Structure 1
Amino acid sequence: MRIGLIGLDTSHSEIFTRLLNDPKDLHYVAGATITHALPVFSEDLPISKDRFQHYKEIVENKYKVKIVEDVEMFMHNVDAVLLATVDGRNHLSWLKNIIHHQKPIFIDKPIVMSSAEMENVMDLSAKHRTPIMSSSSLRYAESIKNINARDFVSGYIYGPLPQQDAMPGYFWYGIHLIEMIVALFGTDISTIQKEKYAGKYEMLKLSFSDGRQVMVRGDYEWHDRFGGVIHYHNRVETFQLWKDERPYYANLLVEIVNFFETCLSPVSLEETAAIIKLIEQINGLDEFGV
């Protein structure tokens, strides 16, 4: 299967290409190859503009992916699309440019930047009969996949929460924390409280409709330590994603390739829409108790 990559402005472009295109890689994912890429980046977003040339050279020169400028030519030469620009603000516009080709599309996080845009995504998917999938790689981390938290009593989730003005609050890195929570505990959250601590981190208190609670700590300084503690009636379960033997990006790509082959997403757009709505609610909060 030939995959087209839109966006060369994020580490995901290098990681996805390496895992799919290099059979010698320890965590190689078979079944598909990235063959073409559209060299997309955002001029007004430093994390996009400043990294574009670096990742373009890797994808083009090391992995021999053909760089094309014409969207129609790009779509004609691929069977499925990874829409992986770092800038979630442009995902909906790119989707509108390609969805009429009716080829399965994976949209990297954040899928879009509002519930209104998400509704548009769902309408476009239905109208053009084009399957769409979006998921954080953390959902498929070994540590997460091996947990059945249905009978949890309470939980504590932690990880990085660096900020980007263009993708505020939990729309950028924080979306991974939210996706972990939804994957483990579901979306039946009734109340949310937030407290910020001296510009270093913030805490969320998520209360579910049945009274169970999950605390979330997001550190404003970036690091790779995602993890958590889950309490049950008679035991405690801990997990540390950075200690997993197999990288979660490889697990995600296995799911993506299967989605491209079957056109059946393991994560419904309805659940993705619930995640976007939850982020909007969190971003709209002020200090704890307000």
Structure 2
Amino acid sequence: MKKLGFIDLFIDEWHANNYPAWIRGSKFAADFKLHLAWEEAPKEGRRDLKQWCKDFDMIPAQSIQQVVDECDALFVLAPSNPEVHERLAEIPLKSGKPLYIDKPFAPSRAAAQRIIQLAQKHNTPLMSSSALRYSNEIIEARQKITPAEIAFVGTRGGGSSFEEYGIHQLEMIVSLIRAKASKLMQCGAGDTKHLVIEFDTGARASVTLQAALPFTLTIAAGGKTREITSTNNFFPNLLDEILNFFNTGISPIAIEETLEIATILEVAVNAQKTLDTWIKL
């Protein structure tokens, strides 16, 4: 049975609070044991590591090194703080043990490249993803539609900021189109963010982010239009994929695709300062 370790900026956050139930409910649950957790520091008003571990039947670790030494597969969480991922992941990246880094993978292309290069140097299997890639509906769409058929993907979804939540829609788009972005433009208004992306295949995509919107999308492909009006079961599906990755050491997502998403996200975040202007990638 493989031992799992959590590494976080502060442990009492939504992903860390929910991943244990999905791990224990996974079809791969019998292969794994939730073992150690570590946080850099508790967030004010939330549970500290000792109490959190008591609540989730895990053991508080004294250091990242202890988590790496005593666990077989590793999570770096901090889903609201991608700027700390590179720092928190430094020791895990040198371990050679399968490592999942939560979304967004990195705040910039340069940081993403450094993370990838360190993993490759130490033969550390690496995976990162937004859960939305693994909704039942997106999985089915990828099975039925080839990237070459796609002319347009329009996604809509919620979130408090583009910096933190834009990743979900970009992950869906890139997982479907599977091409490099050539240029993009932010052209939203008020509290609605609207991003247009052109890919080197000629396909285009749009991202619309407004706080209360559910995640939905439109796919125009092969002369037909597919409307996806709900996205379901994405977190349990994601955890199944992560645990399978921990078993095999092979990520289901090409690292080049993860780098492409990080690149688009960085440019799109910065493009909020120059609305209605095409920016080449």
* TM score, norm. by length of structure 2: 0.86
Alignment partner of 1:228 is 2:217: yes
**Shift in Å, 1:111:** 1.6
- Paired residue for 2:174? 182
- Paired residue for 1:45? none
- Paired residue for 2:56? 63
Correspondence list, 1:62-211, <5 A: 62-86=55-79, 87-148=81-142, 149=145, 150=147, 151-163=149-161, 169-170=162-163, 172-198=164-190, 200-211=191-202
**What does the per-residue CA deviation read over 1:139-163, in whole Å, with 9 as the maximum and x for residues that have no partner?**
1111100003431232211012422
- Paired residue for 1:288? 276
d(CA) in 2 for partners of 1:233 and 1:28? 35
| Cα 1:51–1:253 shift into 2, 3 Å | farther
Q: Identify unmatched segments of 5+ residues in structure 1.
A: 43-48, 164-168
**Shift in Å, 1:95:** 1.5
SS in 2 for 1:157: strand
d(CA) in 1 for partners of 2:257 and 2:127? 11
Q: 1:277 aligns with which of 263, 272, 276?
A: 263
**Shift in Å, 1:54:** 7.5
d(CA) in 2 for partners of 1:154 and 1:105? 33
d(CA) in 1 for partners of 2:168 and 2:50? 25
Note if contact 1:13-1:55 (Cα within 8 Å) is conserved in structure 2.
no
AA of the residue aligned to 1:99:
L
**What does the per-residue CA deviation read over 1:7-37, in whole Å, with 9 as the maximum and x for residues that have no partner?**
214211011111123x5xxx66523222110
Of stretches 228-237 and 276-285 in structure 1, the one that deviates more from structure 2 is 228-237
Q: Identify unmatched segments of 5+ residues in structure 2.
A: none
SS in 1 for 2:47: helix
**Shift in Å, 1:71:** 2.7
**CA RMSD, aligned part only?**
2.2
AA of the residue aligned to 1:4:
G
**Shift in Å, 1:52:** 4.3
d(CA) in 1 for partners of 2:78 and 2:197? 30
- Paired residue for 2:252? 266
Note if contact 1:207-1:214 (Cα within 8 Å) is conserved in structure 2.
yes
AA of the residue aligned to 1:186:
R
d(CA) in 2 for partners of 1:204 and 1:157? 10
SS in 2 for 1:284: helix
d(CA) in 2 for partners of 1:224 and 1:40? 33
AA of the residue aligned to 1:62:
D
| Cα 1:224–1:105 shift into 2, 3 Å | farther
* TM score, norm. by length of structure 1: 0.84
Tell me the number of residue pairs that the alignment of Structure 1 and Structure 2 aligns: 267
d(CA) in 2 for partners of 1:55 and 1:89? 21
